[in-house]
Structure 1
Amino acid sequence: MRKILPLIAGLGALALLSLGASAPAVADLDHTTWANAGNNAVVARDCDGQPGVQCRAYFPDLEVGTQGELILVYRWASSHVGSVGDIRMKKSTDGGATWSGETIIASSSADLRDPSLTRLSTGRLILSYFTYDAVNKAVIRTETRTSDNGGASWAAPVAVTSTIPHAATSAKIIEVRGSGDLLIPLYGTQGSDPNSSVVIVRSTDKGASWSGNQKTVASGSGTVDWTEPAIAELEDGHLRILARTKGNGFQFDSYSGAYMTTWTATQDLGVPMHAPELFRIPGTNKVVNLWSQPAGSSRPVMVKMRYLDRYWGETQAETLYQPFRDNWDAGYSGTVLLGSSLVSAVYDSTVSGLFIQRYEVQDIEGAYTPKLDLLAEYNAGSVSISTDMTATDPAHPEMRPTGAIDGSTAYFNTAAKAGPAPATYTIDLKSVRQIGKIGISLKPQNPVDGNLYPESAVVYTSTDGITWTAVQTYSTANTTHLDAKLLGGTVSVRYVRVDITASAGWATLNEVALYGFAPYGFGHSQP
């Protein structure tokens, strides 16, 4: 267990911790470990010319350049709002593993916010953002800038004009197939209603001008305030917008090429959303959706695969990034397709970083079936355990070998060895089953003082108990959440083994969770 002090000897000492009732269990996975996740592309440091004032990266976006390089843009400022920020750029030629130095590509006496970057079919880069009066706390306007040399230089800003006098934007410009027109989604108040509306504005000259071509897609009203719309072309003539209110995210579509005239009624998706993004994977029926989802005092980034012939409720969302501890000032993903991989950038002000997450398309396809009830199966004799993590404590009977399969991530619901690593824990399912996701919680965070004590471990699967495949490795990891490893579809598994290789204090395994896999979603079960 994680102790108030590291290396407290014995469970008797552990029982003296004044924790009161057990911490609430985590019902399901709320963090996912992806391949190549966690690369910190931008680290906070003192603001230029302001010693002692720390600046951070906010609101990132990604694009792929003409040579396959990743291009990252972000706002650089000292706070989420209320400070002047500029827009900076970095590049990576190795898929996001390493990054170049930064370049300032847009600056002003105003705060430049929510940058997005799109590469057009001509190779031109077009950057969009909105300007903000940080003193008077008011949006000024949305602007775009273009570059025809890969970001080496940028044209002067072009204002995007519409019936919203002070419009903001937060998502990519799209280039419509066929016509080549550009569309930018905006939001803000128009007329006398204090609530924001969503409009799209069209450019017919590749971003040289934005005027005279707009459509109001959703009007603000006394009860609805529309913000942060994102737009995608799913099929020729079929556009979709995701936007949020003060509560849930909504979807609305335009068909038959009538994107400047006719849109469907809004559809409530039933999920709180901030800053959604969506795009279709070319040549497939797959549509990637991401959003930041307010959850109490935190704002994790969610990712969900959708299909052109499936409803919203037929596939599951996975947690792409869980902020470190509770933190609302995080998220705002920017995502691109790079080969068969998806690459997302997210920021987290708690750890003052901008992180690059790289993961495979197949990891977010289909849906994962409900968690296996391993404790019930153990009690019925259809699952067995082999482990040296057999420590018990009379004051906490939930601490026992089966504590790692009891479905709870509460502090004492755990399996532990009365001593440091190495330790091992093996689950035998008694038959080969199809598993799509494995959840692991190593040492639970101390719920009293929040102390973290890292642990290293390797997770293996096997069909025969002889040949083992390593599916996940943790190196001095703090698993503050039940962490998911997606197996890329379904894998034949009879045995799951967790080897604890290093620990601060007693070797501990808090929870193992196993899930099946339903390819291509659940079927038409929800509207």
Structure 2
Amino acid sequence: MSGWMTLSPSPAQAATSNDTTCKTPVNGSPTTDVGPSATGYVLNVGSGGELGTVFTDGAQAAFPKVSARDEVNTDGTPRRTVTTTFSRGLDVGSDRTPPAQVTSTNGGQTFPASTLTQTPGVPTTQLRDGTLLGIDFIPTSTTTSSATFQVYRSTDGGTTWVTSPTIIQLGIPLDGGIRTHGAPFQLGDGTVLISYYIQFGGSHQAPGRYQQISSFVAASTDGGGSFTTRGTIAYDSTGANSYPEAAVAALPSGKLLSVVRHHVWNGTNFNELDTPRWTTSADGGVTWAALQNLAVSFPNGYDNYDDAKPELLGVFPQLQLMPNGVMVLSAGRPDNWVAISTNGQGTGWVGQLTYRNCPTTGYRFHGSTGNTALASVESNRVLQVGDNCDITWSCPAGDSGYTVDNGRRIWRRFADVLTPDVGKIDLATKYRLGQIQVSTDMTATPDGRPRTGPAGAFDGSTDYWSSAARTDGAGTYTITLDREYQLTRLGLSLRNGTLASGRVYASADGVNWGNPIVDAANRTHLALEYFTVTAKARYLKVEVDAGADGAAFLNELELYSTVNSFENDPVNNRPRGFNQLSQTWVTRSGVDGSSRALRLNDTATDAMAKAAWPVSTTSATRTLEFRANPVTLPNAFLFDVQGKAADGTTVDAYHFAARADGSLARYTGSAWVALTGAGAVPAGRWSTIKVQASTTSATVSVGGTVVATSVPPTKAGTTGLLGYSFASSGTAPVGDQVVFDDILFSS
């Protein structure tokens, strides 16, 4: 449940009803003919199928929370198991209706109704010893100095649960109510933290005010058996501000970040919602910096609750440190939103709306409670859950004209949280397909740790046991790549939450290694740390020193190169760095050797499917190499190397086609001329095509075999070469569908 506070409109807020904005749904990040930046951070909120239903049965389903953990499928492949819990009762302090939960075993894509259960019904975290631990929202009993909560534990991956009481020793006398906020989480030293908040009762002694709420953090050194208050996150001795719901997470530096819901005294009560506030702790939660108002920019728009008082609002804040080091914040009311902080400090937030359901006739806060939750499902992909129409107050009978509807359900939406660079190598898929090989002495496979092993070093997770490990000394981990790559960037996490040192080497022959390209000494990683590198590599070696306990861990490794792989692109949205986009998106289906690729699918009679990679500086030579799979090709697909004419205009310097019969052809400027016979690029199969071009001629290869030489340019007099493009056969024809991947474009 949300808590005690049902926020009814006060007379001063009456103008916030009947908002015409509620006619406009949130459809994800805008789609234009230009893709997101290839060199900056990107937050992409998914559209279409990226929004779906977690659970609905017509009864109450609201105030969701979510947990995710690493597991494996029956064939040994990794998966992210996601459990969404939600309230089945009224949003009042006296309601004790048991909550419920449903579970997804495919990363949050689907939550089968058959998984519905009541136990444990709380968000959980996985401790270092493998135990799943969760704590109830409402205590079973209280004294003036402590509160007793039910704790849920599972040592078999959630199959069975054991409940037991845990006592939180409080930081101040309790004369009112107390609730926990979110799931517990574990620090690197094994300490378990839980956030809680207290509402002052009528006998509370000043400083403070009746009904005022303050937030605290409690710590357990016995795995959740007992807790002692460690610090005060948010408390106002003047009685002017109230602080329920303090989200707490560790930044990459190990410093703790908290974002806190914020209410102000309006002369009568604390019902007036205000801008969330944030603070940090550098000593594990003992002391906290002065609270500051949260600032989030919304480049695609944010609808203020009250236009006469524009301000950011939000309830039930949730924080998630992604494996790629980006911090994600989730909140809502009005609407629901996510935001990212990329500087490692929990500042500089950039956000986007994720869901809107409010009445055009009725109160602006109605339709969705604004309670949301987050779970990372891949290294660069997050799942947000929220609700639609709590039965207590959010969809009363007098409201109408909802953005979506007045149905009761839990929804989910995916968002891509992308770091700079588009050349991420999909090591996991290539390893499963046998395209790369690993040689290592980091082969430990502890009982009950199915994700620990050589593949754990690139499984997209920085959870502690999702690692390659050696328990009896320093480790060496060597990868034989599927080709020689020009590496540009490397992400490294050694041992999550534990001091460790390691080095990374690159080699062209697997014999001569030279100096390390990365030297990571005395790191305590909580997420991937990124390094800019410039190295050619067919082989990569990681050396990890033994830690204080004699063990060596390689938690996660990411490699980036000049080959555009689309692995760090938004799923089902426009590819990064491209322009002139039409009927083109990043796909996950029909891909070979990677999990994402570029799909062109021409279904329109008035437009070509197209994607162009712009380059502003000319070069005398260019090489374009790519893999293509013509899924259906009734006509042809086109691929061009662009150039600059003598008059300064951009032209198609070389204009090629792969035709329906699998032949390649070039355009002379007035007619098509065959370069190969039929079958050179067959439909339904992957082919590697390479064009080595100068301003005067080009050589074309397929699958490593030269098929055409001395090919003249389509546009005579080209003075320099620029970028490249892919397209379907023409404006009127339809049906051409092609998947592209592993694009290498160089001078």
Letter in 2 for 1:92: S
Equivalent-residue separation in structure 2 for 1:143 and 1:205 (angstroms) = 15
1:286 aligned to which of 323, 326, 341: 326
Whether the aligned pair in 1 keeps the contact of 2:126 and 2:133 (CA below 8 Å) is: yes
Q: Does the C-alpha gap of structure 1 residues 31 and 237 become closer, same or farther in structure 2, counting only changes over 3 Å? A: closer
- The letter for the 2-side match of 1:333 is T
Paired amino acid for 2:63? Y
**C-alpha distance in structure 1 between counterparts of 2:408 and 2:21, whole Å:** 28
- Aligned partner of 1:509 in structure 2 is none
Find the residue that maps to 1:351 and give its secondary structure: coil
Aligned pairs, number:
346
The residue that corresponds to 1:103 in the other structure is 117
1:214 corresponds to which of 230, 240, 252: 230
How many Å separate the matches in 1 of 2:56 and 2:375?
A: 21
Q: What is the TM-score with the length of structure 1 in the denominator? A: 0.55
Helix, strand or coil at the partner of 1:316: strand
* Matching of residues 329-344 of structure 1 within 5 Å: 329-340=368-379, 341-344=381-384
The aligned counterpart of 2:192 is: 182
Residue 352 of structure 1 is aligned with which of 402, 405, 408?
408
- Distance in structure 2 (CA, Å) of the matches to 1:423 and 1:189: 59
TM-score with structure 2 setting the length: 0.40
Q: Post-superposition shift, 1:316?
A: 2.2
Equivalent residue for 2:290, pick from 262, 265, 270: 265
SS of residue in 2 equivalent to 1:130 = coil
Superposition deviation, residue 252 in structure 1: 0.5
SS class of match (1:155)? strand
Letter in 1 for 2:220: S
Offset, 1:121: 1.8
Indicate the SS of the match to 2:100: strand
Cα distance change on mapping 1:433 and 1:353 into 2, 3 Å: farther
**Aligned-partner Cα distance in 2 for 1:231–1:171:** 9
8 Å CA contact 2:62, 2:88 repeated in 1: yes
Question: What amino acid maps onto 1:55 in structure 2?
Answer: Q
Q: 1:228 to 1:203 in 2, by over 3 A?
A: same
Amino acid at match of 2:54: A
Which of 1 and 2 has greater Rg? 2
Cα distance, 1:153 vs structure 2? 1.7
Cα pair 1:56 1:76 within 8 Å, conserved: yes
Deviation at 1:236, TM superposition (A): 5.1
Question: Offset of 1:426 from its aligned partner?
Answer: 6.5
What is the CA RMSD across the aligned residues, in angstroms? 4.5
Structure 2: distance between partners of 1:275 and 1:30 = 23
What's the offset of the Cα at 1:425?
A: 7.5
- Matched-pair identity in %: 16
Q: Could you tell me whether the CA contact under 8 Å between 1:142 and 1:167 is conserved in 2?
A: no
Q: Which amino acid is 1:323 matched to? A: N
Asked if the contact 1:142–1:169 (Cα under 8 Å) also holds between the matched residues in 2, the reply is: no
> 1:130 Cα deviation (Å)?
1.9
Q: Per-residue displacement from partner, 1:165-188 (whole Å, max 9, x unpaired)?
A: 3321222212111x1101111111
1:318 to 345, 352, 356: 352
Aligned-partner Cα distance in 1 for 2:231–2:70: 30
Q: Which residue does 1:43 correspond to in 2?
A: 56
SS in 2 for 1:210: strand
Query: Is the contact made by 2:253 and 2:344 (CA closer than 8 Å) also made in structure 1?
Result: no
The residue identity in structure 1 corresponding to 2:250 is E
2:251 equivalent to 1:234: yes
1:197 aligns with 2:214: yes
Letter of the 2:64 partner, please give it: F
Residue 89 (structure 1) shift? 2.9
Gaps of 5+ in 2: 1-19, 30-44, 73-78, 141-145, 264-273, 296-311, 361-365, 390-405, 423-579, 581-602, 616-638, 643-651, 657-722, 735-747
In the TM superposition, residue 232 of structure 1 has moved relative to its aligned partner by 0.6
Q: 1:277 aligns with which of 299, 308, 318?
A: 318
Residue deviations 1:392-443 (CA, integer Å, cap 9, x gap): xxxxxxxxxxxxxxxxxxxxxxxxxxxxxx99877999x9879xxxxxxxxx
Contact 1:142 1:168 in 2 (8 A): no
CA distance in 1, matches of 2:221, 2:87: 31
Aligned equivalents of 1:328, 1:258: Cα separation in 2: 38
Contact 2:148 2:165 in 1 (8 A): no
What pairs with 1:140-179 in structure 2 (closer than 5 Å)? Answer: 142-151=149-158, 152-162=160-170, 163=172, 165=174, 166-177=177-188, 179=189
> How far apart are the structure 2 equivalents of 1:74 and 1:348?
14
Shift of 1:29: 6.9
Distance 1:258 1:38, change over 3 A: closer
User: Secondary structure in 2 aligned to 1:259?
Assistant: coil
Runs of 4+ in 1 over 6 A off after TM superposition: 23-30, 363-366, 422-429, 431-434, 462-467, 491-495
Equivalent pair of 2:26/2:356 in contact (CA under 8 Å): no
Q: Distance in 1 between matches of 2:84 and 2:25?
A: 34
Q: Distance in 1 between matches of 2:346 and 2:253?
A: 20
Match of 1:488 in 2: none
What's the counterpart of residue 128 of structure 2? Answer: 121
Residue 120 to residue 30, structure 1, CA distance change in 2 (3 Å): same
- Which amino acid in the other structure matches residue 63 of structure 1? A
The structure, 1 or 2, with the larger RCO (C-alpha pairs under 8 Å, 6+ apart) is 1
CA offset at residue 268 of structure 1? 0.7
- Aligned with residue 281 of structure 2, among 254, 277, 282: 254
Residues of 2 paired with 1:40 and 1:218: CA distance? 35
Alignment correspondent of 1:74: 85
Residues 159-208 of structure 1: CA deviation (Å, up to 9, x unaligned): 4331363321222212111x110111111135432211111100001101
Q: SS where residue 95 of structure 1 aligns?
A: coil
Q: Distance in 2 between the 1:287 and 1:201 partners?
A: 22
Q: 1:348 to 1:164 in 2, by over 3 A?
A: farther
Q: For structure 1, which runs of at least 5 residues remain unmatched after alignment?
A: 1-22, 46-53, 108-114, 134-138, 367-383, 385-421, 435-461, 468-490, 502-527
Tell me by how many angstroms 1:78 deviates. 4.3
Q: 1:236 to 1:224 in 2, by over 3 A?
A: same
Q: CA deviation at 1:83?
A: 3.9
**Structure 1 residues 253 and 353, CA gap change in structure 2 (3 angstroms):** same
The correspondence for 1:305, drawn from 300, 319, 340, is: 340
SS in 1 for 2:328: strand
Range that drifts further, 240-249 or 183-192: 183-192
- 1:173 is paired with a residue whose SS is strand
What SS does structure 2 have at the residue aligned with 1:242?
strand
Matching of residue 130 in structure 1 with residue 137 in structure 2: yes
